[in-house]
Chain A
Amino acid sequence: MSTKSKLDLLQGTLDLLILKTLALGPMHGWGISQRIQRTSADVLRVNQGSLYPALHRLEATGWIAAAWGASENNRQAKFYRLTKTGLRQLRTETAQWELMATAVARVLNTETT
C-alpha cells in the first residue's frame, strides 16, 4: 500500500475525466488511465475495472468514438476520441462541476464559531 491517499472516483466524475483527457487528443484505455493518474499527481487512480465499462458506455451514448490503430510501441490498440456531442457534453459537465465545487467549497469554508 502506498502512503499517499488515493481517491476512488465517483461514477460521473470518471466520465468527466475521460472526456477531458480525450479532449487533449485520441488515446487508448491504458493511456487514459495513465494520463489521469499522472496529471492528478497520482492522487486520482482509475479503477481499471470501471474504466472499460465507462468507455463502452460513453461510446454507446455517442460522446466518444473508437477506432483500432497502432500504439506507441507498435501494437494494435483501441483508440478513443472525443466526438462533437462529446465536446458539448464536456463543456456542460465542466461548468456543472465547477459550479458544484464552488458551492461545496463555500459551504466548507464557512467559519465554525
Chain B
Amino acid sequence: MKSRLRHQLKALRCGAGMDRELDAEVRFHVEMETEKYVREGMEPDAARTRALRNFGAMATHKEEARDARGVGWLDALVADARYAVRTLRKNPGFALLAVVTLGLGIGANTAIFSVIDGVLLKPLPYANGERLILIQQAAPLANQPNFGVSIRELYDYREQLASFDGIVEFHQMSFDLLRRGEPDRVDVGVVSPNFFDVLGITPMLGRTFVETDDDEGADAVLVLGHAYWQTKFGGDRNIVGQVFEMNDRPHTVVGVLPSVPHYPNEVDVYMPTSACPFRAQAERLVNQNRRAFAALQVFGRLKSGSAPQTAATEVATVGERFKQSHADIYRPGIGFQARTANVLEQLTVGARPMLFILLGTTGLVLLIACANVANLTLARTLRRDRELAMRTALGAGRWRLVRQLLTESTVLAAAGGLFALLFAWSTIDMLTTFVGRFTARTHEIGIDAGVLGFTLFVSILTGLVFGTLPALSSRVDLNTALKAGGKSTGDDSRRRRMQSALITAQVAVSVVLLVGAGLLLLSFYRLQSVDAGFNGDRVTSAEVFGNFTKYPDAPSLRRLYVSILERLEGAPGVVSAAITNSVPLAGVQPGQTRLQIQGHTYNTPEERPTADVRVASTKYFGTLSIPIRRGRAFSELDHENAPPVAIINESMVRHFEGRNPVGMEIGFGAGPNLTWVTVVGVVADVKVFGLDREAVAQVYRPLRQSGGLAGRVLVRITGEPSSAASVIRGAVHAVDPDLPIENVRTLDELRERSIARPRVTAMLLTVFAALALLVTITGITGVIAQSVTHRTQEFGLRMALGATRQTVLRMVLGQGLLLVGIGLALGIAASLALSRVLQNYLYQTTPTDPVTFAAVACALVVAGLLACLGPAWRATTVDPMTALRAE
C-alpha cells in the first residue's frame, strides 16, 4: 500500500519524465524485436515494420501503461489542456469568438452576483449584525404603515421586553456645524448612549458614548463618522478633543468611527439624545404626551439564546397592552400593531426583487452564450471528424476523445472566465450606483474571494454545459469517417438537428429578454412623457434652512424668507422667485394632515379627510406656471394680519362633494387649536411626489401665514441655469452670511433624478437583450452558412435542373425563418408566462402589452432575415457546373 502511494507520488512529481521513460522502454523493445527478425534473415525495413505491427496500436499501450500508474487522469488532464490550447491557437477566430461570447455571458453573471453577494448574502459587518431586530409600529387602517415610535413607547419597550439585552433609538437631524466660522450643514444621527455597543462597533479613535453623556445638562459631545472625518478633516488624528459650535452650544469631539457602513442611515456625525434640542424638549413632555416625538427608529439586540420568534411575540404583546391601556391613542379604528423585522432584510427589501430579475436575465444571457458556443463547437467537430477518426485509429478510446473535447470546452470557458472578471471589474462601479437607488447597502460590493469562487464555478459549469453536447455527438464511426473524406455521415444530420434545436432555443430566450426590455422601455417612455403639471424650464431650486437657534419661531423665519425673496426678486436676470417647501419631484413623501371641511360633522378623527399641506409664497404658482383653475392666486395682501386663506388643488376638490370650494372654509387642527381658513383658489394638480404617482389632495398656505418651515428657494432666470447658483448665494448671503445653501439643482435635473431608477433598469435590461440578440444573430448566420456549404451540390443540381436564383434564395431564407419562427413562438409563450415578474416596474403598461410583443416579433423576423441574407446570397451564386463536377 505504502509503496503504491510512493509510486503514485513519484509519478505525479515527474509525469513528463515517466512518459519519456515509457517511450524509451518501448523504443528499446521495438529495436530488440527488429534485430531478432533481422537475425532470422529479414530485410531491416520489413523487420522494423513487423516489429511495429507486433506492438500494435502504440498510443493505446502507452495510455494503458500510463493509466496503470494510477494518476493517468491527472497526467491526461494536463496533456489534454496543453493539446486544447494548441488546437485553439490554430483556430484563433473560433477561440476569440467563443471566449468573448462566454466572457460577456459569465461576466454579466459575475457582476450581478458580486452585487447580490455584497447586498444580500454578506452578513452585516457588525459584531452583532445577525442578532439585530427592528421594532416597528404600524397603523394600517389609518394609512400609516410606519407609525413612528415615541419616547414614552421606547421606554415601555425597554421595561417590558425580556428577550433583548439592549434597545436603542435613532433619529436623524440636520444641524449647522460651525468650524472656523464657516457654516456646514451636517446630517446628525441622534442616538442612545449604548447605540454603538448594541451594533457592535468600536471606535477607531477616542471613544463612543457613555451613559453620563446622556444626562440632562451634560456637556454636548460628538462622534464623527469615518467618511465625514476623512473628507472634512483630512483624516486629522488630533481631532479628538476639538470643540465646534452647534445649536449655539460648544460640542466636543470624543471619537471617530471606523470605516463601516452606517445603520439605519449614513450620517456625518452622531450625538447623544440629550444634545438634540428637539429631542431634549420632548423628553420633558414624556409624562403628559404619550406620543411625544414619535419619530424614533428603534432596534434591539437579541439576548444570546433568545429566538427571534420569542422577541416577535413579546413585541406584539406589548403592542396589545398599549391598545388596552390607552384606547384613546391606539384606537381600534387605526389597526395599531407592533412587530419585529430583521435588520438586514429590512435594509435590502427594496433591492431584492430587482436583483433576482437581473440575475435571471444574466442567467438567460449566459444560456444563449452557451448555446452559441456549443453550436460553434459542433460546427468544428463536423470539420474535425477526420482528425478525431485518426486519433481513434491511433488507439484513443471514445471516452478519451470525449474527455479531450470537454477539456477544450473548459479551457475556453476558463479563458472566458478571465475575460468575465475584467468585464465585471469594469462595470461594478456603474452597477453599485444602480443598486444604490434601491438600497443603502452598497458599501460591501466588490470582487472578493466569494465572487472569484462563483466565477470559477460558473466557468467550469459553462464549459461542461456547452461542451457536453458536441462531445457526446462525437461518436466517430472509424470506417465511415475515414472513407467519407470529409463528406457527410449519419452523425452529421444528427448534429445539424442538434444545431437547429440550439438556434431555436437561442431565439426563444432572446425573445424573452427582448420582451422584458421592450416592456421596460415602453413603460419608461410613457413615464418620461407624463405631464407633471408644471413648467420647470430654467427653474432652479436650493435648500436654505434657517438655523433654529437664530430663527427660533415662525415670525423670525418668515422675516428671513421674505427678505431673501425680496433680494432674489431684485437680482439681475431673475424672472420670478418663490419660497416653498414643495419642490416637485425632489423626492419628498406626501404629508397627511387631517382637515375638516366646512359644513361636515365627523364622529371620529379617522373620518376626516387627509391632505398634504404645503407652504407657497406669492409667486409660487407663477414661477412654476401652475394654472389657476378657479378663484385667485396668493397676493401680497395675504399677510400675517390678513384673514387666513388657502389654495387647494383639483384632487382636493372632491372632498367638497360637488360644491364650489372657493369661499368655503377648511379647518386645521382640533380642539382649542382649531383654525378655519378660507379657500380663495383652486390650482391644477401637480405630480409633486413622482411622475408615476397619482396626484394627492393638497392644500397650499401663503408663506406669510405659515409656520415659516419653508426652506426651499425656487428661481426662474433668463440666463443659463448654471448661473442660478451664484444668484441664490448672493441673495441669501446678503441676508445672512452664515446660512448654508444646499442641493442646488434645476427642476429638470430633479425630474431626471426622479426617474433614474426605471431609466437605468430599462437600460440594463436593454443592453442584456441586445447582447443576446447579437449573439443569436451570429449563431443563425453561422448555422445557415454551414448548411449552405453542405448543400452546395444540391443547389447546383437544382439550378442545373432549372431552379431560378429566387427559388434557391427562398429555400435558404425559408430554412432560416423556420428556425426563427419556431423560436419566436416558444419565446412568446414563455414571455407571456414570465413577464409578470416585471409588473411592479411597469408604468401604464401591462406585462402582456400587444404592441411590445408585436414589435419584438417583427424585430426578430427582420434580424433573422438579415442573418440569413449573406449565406442565402452565396447559395444563389453557386455555379451549377462546378458544383456538379465536385461530386
Residue of A at shortest CB range from B3?
A: A62
Instruction: Tell me, in angstroms, the Cα distance from A59 to B66 when the chains sit together.
Output: 12
Report yes or no: A62 in contact with B32, Cβ–Cβ below 8 A: no
Do the beta carbons of B61 and A60 come within 8 Å of each other?
no
Contact in complex: A30, B61 (CB < 8 Å): no
Which of B20-28, B709-717, B722-730 lies at the interface with chain A? B20-28
B60 lies within 8 A of chain A by Cβ = yes
Given the contacts A30-B33, A60-B8, A53 and B65 also touching, CB distance less than 8 Å: yes
A52 at the interface (CB under 8 A from B): yes
9 contacts between A and B (CB under 8 A): A28-B25, A30-B28, A48-B61, A50-B64, A53-B61, A53-B64, A56-B65, A60-B70, A71-B32
Number of residues from A at the complex interface, CB < 8 A: 24
Residue of B nearest to A61 (CB): B4
- Identify which of B4, B8, B22, B32 contacts A52 (C-beta below 8 A): B22
Residue total for B at the interface (Cβ-Cβ under 8 A): 29
B606 neighbours in A (Cβ, 8 Å):
none
Q: With a CB–CB cut-off of 8 A, which chain B residues contact A77?
A: 25, 28
Q: Which A residues are within 8 Å of any B CB, using their own CB?
A: 28-30, 34, 47-50, 52-57, 59-62, 71, 73, 75-78
Residues in chain B near residue A55, CB distance under 8 A: 65
From DSSP, what is the main secondary structure of chain B's interface residues? Answer: helix
Nearest opposing residue in chain B for A75, CB measure: B28
When distances are taken between beta carbons in the complex, the residues of chain B under 8 Å from A34 are 36
Chain B neighbourhood of A57, CB < 8 A: 68
Nearest-neighbor residue (CB-CB) of B33 within chain A: A30
Say yes or no: B57 contacts A76, CB within 8 Å: no
**Distance A55 CA – B69 CA, assembled complex (angstroms):** 10
- Residue in A53, A55, A78 whose Cβ sees the most chain B Cβ within 10 Å: A53
Task: Assess whether B54 is interfacial by the CB under 8 Å rule.
Answer: yes
Contact residues in B for A54 (Cβ distance below 8 Å): 68
| Chain B residues with CB under 8 A of A28 | 25, 28
Nearest CB on B from A63, distance (A)? 9
Q: How far is the CA of A71 from the CA of B29 in the complex (A)?
A: 11
Residue of B nearest to A48 (CB): B55
Which chain B residues lie closer than 8 Å to A71 at the CB level?
A: 28, 32
CA distance A53 to B66 in the complex (A): 8
Q: How far is the CB of B28 from chain A (nearest CB, A)?
A: 5
Asked if A30 and B68 sit within 8 Å, CB to CB, the answer is no
Question: Contact: A49 with B56, CB < 8 Å?
Answer: yes
In the assembled complex, the Cα of A30 lies from the Cα of B65 at a distance in Å of 15
Quick one: which of B8, B25, B67 contacts A29, CB cutoff 8 A? B25
Interchain Cβ contacts within 8 Å, total number: 68
Residue-wise interface mask of B (573-611) relative to A, using a CB-CB cutoff of 8 A (1 in contact, 0 not): 000000000000000000000000000000000000000
Apart from A30-B32, A48-B29, A48-B61: 12 A-B pairs, beta carbons within 8 A: A30-B33, A49-B57, A49-B60, A52-B26, A52-B29, A52-B61, A52-B65, A56-B65, A56-B68, A57-B68, A75-B31, A78-B28
Q: How far is the CA of A22 from the CA of B167 in the complex (A)?
A: 84
Residues of B contacting A47 in the complex (Cβ-Cβ under 8 angstroms): 56
B791 CB-CB contact with A under 8 Å: no
Per-residue CB contact flags for chain B residues 776-789 toward chain A (1 = under 8 Å, else 0) read 00000000000000
Question: How far apart sit A110 and B444, CA to CA, in the bound complex (Å)?
Answer: 85
State whether the Cβ of B7 lies closer than 8 Å to any Cβ in chain A. yes
Contact B7 A62 (CB under 8 A): yes
How distant is the Cα of A30 from the Cα of B56 in the complex, in angstroms? Answer: 15
Q: Which residue of B lies closest to A28 (CB)?
A: B28
Roughly how many angstroms separate A56 CA and B64 CA in the complex, as a whole number?
A: 9
In the complex, how many angstroms separate the beta carbon of A65 from the nearest chain B beta carbon?
A: 9
Among A48, A60, A61, point to the contact of B56 (Cβ < 8 A).
A48
How far in angstroms is the closest Cβ of chain A from B869?
55
Shortest B718–chain A CB gap in Å is: 92
**Which residue of chain A is the closest to B58 with respect to CB atoms?**
A49
- Say yes or no: A78-B21 contact (C-beta < 8 A), given A30-B33, A49-B55, A52-B65: yes
Nearest A residue (CB) for B21: A78
Question: How far, in whole Å, are A110 and B36 apart by their CA atoms in the complex?
Answer: 44
Residues of B contacting A59 in the complex (Cβ-Cβ under 8 angstroms): 7
Contact A78 B7, beta carbon cutoff 8 Å: no
A59-B57 Cα distance, complex, nearest whole Å: 23
Q: Which residues from chain B contact A56 at a C-beta distance below 8 Å?
A: 65-66, 68-69
Query: C-beta contact mask, B29-72 vs A, less than 8 Å → 1, else 0?
Result: 10111011000000000000000001111001100111111100
CB distance from A33 to the nearest CB of B (A): 8
Closest Cβ of chain A to B13, distance in Å, is: 15
Q: Within the complex, what minimum Cβ distance (angstroms) separates A73 from chain B?
A: 8
Residues of A within 8 A of B26 (CB): 52
Q: B690: shortest Cβ distance to chain A, in Å?
A: 74
A50 and B67 alpha carbons, distance in the complex (Å): 12
> Across the interface, do A29 and B29 meet the contact criterion of CB distance under 8 Å?
yes
Q: Which residues of B contact A62 (CB under 8 A)?
A: 3-4, 7
* Also in contact, A60 and B7, with CB within 8 A (given A30-B32, A48-B54, A52-B61): yes
- Determine the distance from Cα of A55 to Cα of B61 in the docked complex, in whole angstroms: 12
Given contacts A52-B65, A53-B68, A60-B68, contact A78 B24 (CB under 8 A): yes
CA distance A76 to B7 in the complex (A): 22
Q: Which 9 pairs show the lowest CB-CB distances between chains A and B?
A: A62-B3, A56-B68, A53-B64, A30-B32, A57-B68, A49-B56, A49-B61, A30-B29, A52-B65
Q: Which residues of A contact B35 (CB under 8 A)?
A: 73
B8: nearest chain-A partner, CB-CB: A60
Shortest beta-carbon distance, B62 to chain A, in Å?
8
Query: Shortest CB–CB separation between residue B753 and chain A, in angstroms?
Result: 71
Bound Cα distance A96, B670 (Å): 109
Question: How far is A52 from B61 in the complex, measured between Cα atoms in Å?
Answer: 7
Contact B25 A78 (CB under 8 A): yes
Closest to B63 in A: A53
Closest residue of chain B to A62, judged by CB? B3
Measured between C-beta atoms, what is the minimum distance from A37 to chain B in Å? 11
CA distance A93 to B823 in the complex (A): 65
Most chain-A CB neighbours within 10 Å: which of B36, B57, B68? B68
CB A98 to nearest CB in B, in angstroms, measures 27
Shortest Cβ distance from B57 into chain A, in angstroms? 7
